[in-house]
Amino acid sequence: MRVVIYTFSGTGNTFLTADFIAMSLSDSGVDIGQIRIEDVFLKGTIPVTDGVDHILIGYPIHAFNAPKIVVDFAKMLPSGNGKQVSIFKTSGEPFFFNNSSSHPLIKVMKSKGYKFMTETHLLMPYNVMFRYPDALVKQMYLLMQDMVDKFTEDVLNGTGEMISYTMFNRIFSFIFRIQWPGARFNGRFYSCNHKKCTLCLKCVKNCPSNNIRVQNKKIRFDGKCMMCMRCVQNCPHDAINIGILRWWAVRGIYNYNQLMAEDSIPSDYINENTKGYFRLFKRFFKKHQY
């Protein structure tokens, strides 16, 4: 069996889930290929479907939708001729508003003749708005691995089902699809604190849309931003401000290996006694703890 995983990720959470999926499938004897969706555009990588039995597409949910780059990627794929496709997606909250995020992607793929098999929604911590507590990040990381095992089992067995959604979900997601042009608009207001910046060029080299450049020895931003947050979360000097949403910046990566190695950090942040906002996560954790 030959499987190719096409993934887009901003700050790396979805890339991480793709790696776990690849390892799980490889352990079952599956021939795996992994390609970053951004490379299809930045490096001219040609989407490969010949000789592939199953295509997996992974993305982070942006404002209750698949990022535009993922939908544009789907439009580039050749005819499916009944080839199997499954989806894995990540977000920081388990709410049903995210259910129809794949609708425009599925619509494009079905029009090309692809057959959808299964979809899973994996929880990973926010990279915008606010930073998650370490204990919750650790618990999410562990749950994600359990859910990946179930997802890969469904892929191998041809089981599982697509996440259901209503017309209300579709309308809700459509309204928030304003994020696609909104990201480009807000991206023009990104700025760099040049007193902090050392011109390490980490942001320039890693931007998935080639939106960041150097002009007169200063970092400049153009109008192609996707608001993936990769630049701000990975800046080693906290030098980047994210436009009109600058107060929502989450700075610094989540170090999962360090969290897992630290025994003093519990992994049961979501429990029967959880109060406040995160009490709304209880149902999801209870449902997916296999």
* Amino acid, single-letter form, for residue 109: M
Task: Give buried/exposed letters for 42-70 (b at 16+ CB in 10 A, else e).
Answer: eeeeebebeebebbbbbbbbbbbbbbbbb
For the chain, which domains are there? 2-174 (3.40.50.360), 183-248 (3.30.70.20)
> What is the reported pLDDT for 246?
82
Number of CB atoms found within 10 A of residue 165's CB: 18
> What is the reported pLDDT for 290?
55
Kindly give the parts of the chain with pLDDT less than 50.
Answer: none
Phi, psi angle pair for 26, to nearest 5° = -65, -40
